[in-house]
């Protein structure tokens, strides 16, 4: 898992950002591709899988339960593979057979909320012995009743700790694991969460009858798109999604698009620096995920979408951003779930924009890998940027970010957002950046390619 040795970033001022880059594969889609491939009949080939620690945690958990996953080492060795070469892993799906958790009974999912919540739904009617889903200190603070309550009502034997947090204890449900069946439910969620929706849909594959989930607003629909690619398309009517129990998945080929959440750091940084010109190729622009683009555009960003195409049921484009001075805006609360992971980058862009940027209706930010409202506000305060904090959001008055020292709150996205900030003078130290590897291996090197100057200090190396 993540190295325990402290890593700081030291960021020095640079000028305009320029380059033509690709970012690693999408984290959400990578998790789903492994999980669905594991329970499909036959082989699935996955290209461009993200090898971040969160996805590796999902991969390790599946392997520890008996799923064979062949992974060619993607590291380019001289003269053999260029960075445009496609790398591929092959998952040998177990079909309808049960998954056997390791004898230790522990599946350690590190920092990864997606692994924990989606696997809970996937496993609750597929395991043949008990297990506990555990995580690191950050994951161990995150709320799990939002999934354990609906899964329990389906008949799953699932229990979080008394405080509603991990570890999650799972036991096999009664009966032959081949036939173990949950009760179908018709559930309406009260938070916009793709993880809750996905956990219920994945459990619904093992229910008798049709399981439906109605969300209070649109959340990312990667699970639905990927279920269709595996031959089990859910039906959809507005915000209500239904899945038939008992449909078997068939192995397929998945091309994972570049992760818009990773691209967002460079897009936001370039958008606000006059003279910048960056192209990020092959990025997923699924409309349930691309709120960051419209929010930045609302702030005046110049973003072009080129060569829009499909990849594994997901829309993909090459994104070009040319820098300008951004303008603060009131962000529409309806767009918050569509950009939920990009707020650290948006907040840092707002700190350099003209005027005030305000977001409300974003309480979910408080229960991500860190309390992202508190963590960003503390960091901006330390950098003498004017911030007003609300229970469900923040108002930031743009200024000039001078050097100083901020804490990432052990949160990969806070670390990367500040690492890509435009700094007027001095240097910016970002403490505790070791979690960047959970979602963006190679971040510092790629940042260097577009002209950022980030020195890594500490760590195991
Ligand atoms: C994710 C959904 C979002 C997001 C997370 C990944 C997913 O979480 O913040 O990083 O892959 O389904 P919520 O479902 O809690 O909104």
> What integer pLDDT is reported at residue 24 of this predicted model?
98
Cis peptide before 167 (omega within 30 of 0): yes
> What integer pLDDT is reported at residue 460 of this predicted model?
62
Is 28 a pocket residue for ligand 1 (Cβ < 6 Å)?
yes
Cα(125)–Cα(178) distance, rounded to whole angstroms?
A: 9
Domains observed in the chain: 7-24+258-458 (3.65.10.10), 27-255 (3.65.10.10)
Is 340 a pocket residue for ligand 1 (Cβ < 6 Å)?
yes
Is 193 a pocket residue for ligand 1 (Cβ < 6 Å)?
yes
> What integer pLDDT is reported at residue 3 of this predicted model?
53
**Phi, psi of 304, rounded to the nearest 5 degrees:** -110, 140
Is 198 a pocket residue for ligand 1 (Cβ < 6 Å)?
yes
| Tokens linked to 80 | 């053999």
> What integer pLDDT is reported at residue 72 of this predicted model?
76
Q: Which of 8, 259, 341, 432 is catalytic?
A: 341
| Tokens linked to 170 | 């799972």
For the CA of 337, the nearest atom of ligand 1: 16
Question: Is 341 assigned a catalytic role?
Answer: yes
Q: Whose CA is nearest to atom 9 of ligand 1?
A: 341
Closest Cα to residue 385, out of 409, 419, 349? 349
> What integer pLDDT is reported at residue 278 of this predicted model?
98
> What integer pLDDT is reported at residue 230 of this predicted model?
98
- What does pLDDT average to in each consecutive run of 10 residues of the chain (461 residues)? 77 96 98 98 97 98 98 58 68 96 97 98 96 98 98 98 98 74 96 98 97 98 98 97 96 97 98 97 98 98 97 94 98 97 98 98 98 98 97 97 94 98 93 96 98 91 46
> What integer pLDDT is reported at residue 84 of this predicted model?
47
Is 114 a pocket residue for ligand 1 (Cβ < 6 Å)?
yes
For the CA of 368, the nearest atom of ligand 1: 9
Residue 287 CA to ligand 1 center (angstroms) comes to 15
- Number of residues that make up the chain: 461
Closest Cα to residue 450, out of 270, 261, 257? 270
For the CA of 28, the nearest atom of ligand 1: 11
Helix (H, G, I), strand (E, B) or coil at 343: helix
Task: Please give the sequence-ordered ranges of beta strands (E in DSSP) within 142-234, or none if there are none.
Answer: 157-159, 168-171, 182-183, 186-188, 207-208, 210-214
> What integer pLDDT is reported at residue 74 of this predicted model?
55
Cα(386)–Cα(378) distance, rounded to whole angstroms?
A: 11
Residue 99 CA to ligand 1 center (angstroms) comes to 25
Is 111 a pocket residue for ligand 1 (Cβ < 6 Å)?
no
């Amino acid at each position: 898992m993540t190295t325990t040795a402290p890593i700081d970033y030291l960021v020095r001022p640079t000028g305009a950002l320029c380059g033509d880059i690709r970012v690693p594969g999408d984290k959400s889609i990578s998790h789903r591709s492994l999980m669905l491939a594991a329970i499909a009949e036959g082989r699935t080939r996955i290209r461009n899988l993200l090898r971040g620690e969160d996805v590796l945690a999902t991969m390790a958990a599946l392997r520890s339960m008996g799923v064979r996953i062949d992974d060619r080492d993607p590291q380019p060795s001289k003269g053999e593979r260029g960075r445009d070469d496609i790398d591929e892993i092959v998952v040998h799906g177990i079909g309808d057979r049960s998954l056997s958790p390791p004898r230790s009974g522990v599946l350690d999912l590190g920092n990864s909320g997606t692994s924990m919540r989606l696997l809970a739904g996937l496993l609750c009617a597929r395991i043949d012995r008990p297990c506990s889903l555990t995580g690191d200190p950050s994951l161990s603070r995150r709320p799990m009743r939002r999934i354990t309550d609906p899964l329990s009502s389906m008949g799953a034997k699932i229990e979080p700790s008394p405080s509603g947090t991990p570890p999650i204890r799972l036991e096999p449900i009664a009966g032959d694991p081949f036939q173990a069946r949950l009760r179908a439910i018709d559930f309406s969620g009260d938070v916009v969460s793709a993880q809750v929706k996905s956990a219920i849909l994945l459990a619904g594959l093992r229910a008798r009858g049709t399981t439906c989930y109605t969300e209070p607003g649109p959340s990312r629909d990667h699970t639905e798109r990927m279920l269709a690619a595996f031959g089990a398309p859910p039906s959809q009517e507005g915000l209500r999604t239904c899945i038939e129990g008992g449909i078997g998945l068939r192995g397929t080929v998945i091309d994972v698009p570049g992760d818009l959440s990773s691209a967002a750091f460079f897009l936001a940084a370039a958008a606000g620096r006059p003279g910048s010109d960056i192209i990020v190729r092959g990025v997923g622009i699924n409309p349930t995920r691309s709120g960051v683009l419209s929010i930045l555009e609302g702030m005046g960003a110049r973003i072009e979408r080129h060569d829009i195409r499909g990849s594994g049921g997901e829309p993909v484009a090459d994104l070009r951003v040319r820098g300008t001075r951004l303008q603060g805006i009131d962000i529409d609360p309806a767009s918050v779930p569509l950009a939920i992971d990009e707020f650290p980058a948006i907040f840092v862009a707002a700190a350099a924009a003209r005027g005030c940027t305000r977001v409300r209706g974003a309480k979910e930010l408080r229960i991500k890998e860190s309390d992202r409202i508190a963590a960003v506000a503390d960091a901006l305060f330390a950098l003498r940027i004017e911030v007003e904090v609300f229970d469900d959001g923040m108002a930031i008055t743009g200024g000039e970010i001078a050097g100083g020292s901020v804490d990432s709150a052990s949160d990969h996205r806070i670390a990367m957002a500040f690492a890509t900030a435009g700094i007027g003078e001095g240097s910016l130290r970002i403490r505790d950046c070791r979690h960047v590897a959970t979602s963006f291996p190679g971040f510092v090197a790629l940042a260097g390619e577009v002209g950022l100057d980030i020195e890594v200090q500490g760590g195991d190396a």
